Structure 1
Amino acid sequence: MSCSRCGFQHNCICHAEPRLDSKARFILLTHPKELGKDTNTGELMLRTLPDSQRYTWDRVNPPAALLDELRAPDNQPWLLFPSDEEHPATAYWPESDRQPLFILLDATWQEARKMVRKSPWLAQLPRLSLSPSSASAYQLRRNQQAGNLCTCEAGIALLELLGEVDQAAQLNEYFQAFIDTFHADKSGHAKHTQS
């Protein structure tokens, strides 16, 4: 029987789950194809950052509650997405009277590009681009592109950008526990630990 929280059957990692906080809020705008995937690392953020939230992307009907949050005067929304000629990246600057609201596209890169292209309301947000200092540790899917981060790694990088390095380190440890356990659990055996 799989753990109802972490989803692993033979190697529960709930003992490694930290309880984090941040001055920012994290919104996962999730492509419908990502919902329920056991390789989805956005779940790690939802479990550990109590003020994070998931909305499901819909091309025709944008989530009304999310649109309200983007318009709220006390929020400072940012779309985490690579810049292009039409939408240059903006340097992150915090406004003391507004809470940072980071929108992360929880999808494959192909899906994320489509989400941005087909959602004009996303194009209106200032874009924040990350320059990862190390290669992604996420190798659970095929066709990974060099230089791209998975959702949880992007969250870790954003925590570092905010100067919340202890929170970032704890989330990274939890992410590593997930990565280190995934294949053993899916192949149906307990992970061997060194004594």
Structure 2
Amino acid sequence: MPHAVARLRDERLARSLKPFVARGSRSERCPRCRVAISHCLCRWQPRVPSHCGVCLLMHDIEPLKPSNTGWLIADVVTDTYAFTWQRTGVDLRLLELLADPQWQPFVVFPGEYAAPSRVVERVETAPGKRPLFILLDATWTEARKMFRKSPYLDALPVLSLRPEALSRYRLRRSTRGEHLCTAEVAALCLELASDVQAAQALDAWLDAFTEHYLGAKHHRLADLDNAAHRALAVFAKT
């Protein structure tokens, strides 16, 4: 069964007035991992348990981009939900999720942009509740606008991360090394919630995806014996 981001991608394509043409679209891609068929990495996909949930609030065309890493989160974290951010409204299914009593939602965003009373740096939940990390999946400029213009998130705590390393993401350009990609942010959240195995699997899955994606782009073989693939061998389906 397709995961949440795959379903959102199908919904977005269904309402498109013209085809979305991604860079490198002349190469046939695997529909499951989105990498060129020659570099498919589906057999390395990890399968791990997780007690956390992730809610991806995605800017309009993010689900269509083959380089989007929210897709990787949904590959690893079973309880991943994905919604398109709307400038003038909100998906009612998102509001239902935020009100679900099993979850303790956290908006993951730099604390400097929120009122100090909302900011937390630890993942603490009430008994019987599981953490639900709300990630704004967009460019940095878009994400700041989404944070400001989503009043339904205003009452929720803001989890402010303090990453100790610069981003490893190499599929899109950024002028700020401290700006992590969505999958890196999710892995940090999982680690903070003591969901260590899922965090490690997601980190390795991102690294392997990057290796295969760039290998296809530059017409070179992926290194199947690097650290990421060795880590995935512990988690892989096969």
User: Could you tell me the TM-score, scaled by structure 1's length?
Assistant: 0.91
- What's 1:61 paired with? 89
> For 1:36-62, what per-residue CA distance to the aligned partner results, in whole angstroms no more than 9, with x for missing partners?
111111110112212111111111121
SS in 1 for 2:120: coil
SS at 1:145's partner residue? coil
Residues 20 and 119 of structure 1: is their aligned pair in 2 closer, same or farther, counting only changes over 3 Å?
same
Work out the percentage of aligned pairs sharing the same amino acid.
38
**Contact 2:57–2:85 (CA under 8 A) maintained in structure 1:** yes
Deviations 1:129-157 (A, max 9, x none): 11112111012212341312111001111
CA distance in 1 between partners of 2:201 and 2:208 (Å): 11
Matching residue within 79, 93, 99 for 2:124: 93
Separation (CA, whole Å) in 2 of partners of 1:19 and 1:163: 17
Higher mean displacement: 107-116 or 65-74: 65-74
Query: Quick one: distance in 1 between partners of 2:113 and 2:34?
Result: 41
Deviates more, 1:14-23 or 1:85-94: 85-94
CA contact (8 A) 2:87 2:149 kept: yes
Alignment partner, residue 53 of structure 2: 25
**1:161 Cα deviation from its structure 2 partner:** 0.6
Q: TM-score, normalised by structure 2?
A: 0.76
Give the distance between the partners of 1:107 and 1:138, measured in 2 at CA: 14
Aligned length: 195
Structure 1 counterpart of 2:74: 46
Q: 1:30 to 1:85 in 2, by over 3 A?
A: closer
Q: 2:158, 2:76 → 1: CA distance? A: 25
Structure with greater helix percent = 2
CA–CA distance in structure 1, aligned partners of residues 32 and 42 of structure 2:
7
RMSD of aligned Cα (Å): 1.9
Give the Cα–Cα distance (whole angstroms) in 2 for the partners of residues 75 and 192 of structure 1: 39
| 2:200 counterpart of 1:173 | no
Which residue identity lines up with residue 29 of structure 2 in the other structure? S
